[in-house]
Structure 1
Amino acid sequence: MTTFDDRERAFETKFARDEEMQFRIIARRNRLLGHWAAEKMGLTAEEADAYAVAVVQADFEEAGDEDVVRKLVGDLTAAETDVDEAEVRRAIEEKTVEARRQLIESQG
């Protein structure tokens, strides 16, 4: 029975580690998205940092990415940029890959 318990604990530990890594990837992705959108809106470096934090916080409104998409599209539209929802969704995919790469590199 000890072997089974050890395997169960190992799976639980791996699951927790994977969940934490996914959370960190999404938070970093959202920060990168905030800086990407800030650049499109012509914000200063200080404003961009604050905006990136706001994008990270927007992700806690509901599960999934729709809250982030809604914030980015709304803010980019209000700033009269020519960025549409499809471009925001492409940026989400690109920044997810970039965030994952950055976290993996920082661990190695």
Structure 2
Amino acid sequence: MTSMKDREEGFERKFAIDEEQRFRATARRNRMLGLWAAEKLGKSGADADAYAKEVVVSDIEEAGDHDVLRKVKGDFEAAGVDQSEHQIRRTMDELMAQALEQVRNS
């Protein structure tokens, strides 16, 4: 009985660690996405950092990545930057892979 309880607690700890890593990686991905988008929008320095923070904050509007995608796509459209939704999603996926690796190695 004890070994079953130990296994259950082990799975719970692993789940909690995985969720924390995913949360940190998502925030990191959103920051990197914000910096990528800022460059496309012609922002640099403090303006690029401020924009990246806006992208990170935009992620709290709703569950999932839709709010972040909507923000970046809307800002691109307003500025006349030619990036399709598919291109933005692909960049988000690439940056998520990088962010997960960075979080796991830190």
Find the counterpart in structure 2 of residue 40 from structure 1: 40
CA shift, 1:42, in A, is 0.6
The 5-angstrom pairing of residues 10-29 of structure 1 reads 10-29=10-29
Gapped runs of 5+ residues in structure 2? none
CA contact (8 A) 2:26 2:96 kept: yes
Q: Partner of 1:61: helix, strand, or coil?
A: coil
Deviation at 1:78, TM superposition (A): 0.9
Q: Does residue 1:59 correspond to 2:59, yes or no?
A: yes
**Which amino acid in 2 is paired with 1:11?**
F
What secondary structure, in the 3-state scheme, does the structure 2 residue paired with 1:83 have?
coil
Task: Give the equivalent residue in structure 2 for 1:9.
Answer: 9
Distance of 2:2 and 2:94 partners within structure 1: 44
> Alignment RMSD, CA only?
1.0
Q: After TM superposition, where is structure 1 displaced by more than 3 Å over at least 4 residues in a row?
A: none
**TM-score, scaled relative to structure 2:** 0.94
Larger RCO, structures 1/2 (Cα 8 Å, 6+ apart): 2
Tell me, yes or no, if structure 1 residue 100 matches structure 2 residue 100. yes
- Say if 2:41 and 2:79, in contact at 8 Å, map to a contact too: yes
Q: 2:21, 2:104 within 8 Å by CA — same for their partners in 1?
A: no
Q: Percent identity?
A: 53
Q: Alignment partner of 2:80: what SS?
A: coil
Tell me whether 1:77 sits opposite 2:71 in the alignment.
Answer: no
Q: CA deviation at 1:66?
A: 0.7
Which string of whole-angstrom CA distances, capped at 9 and with x for unpartnered residues, describes residues 18-72 of structure 1? 0001111111000000000000001121011111111111111111111111000
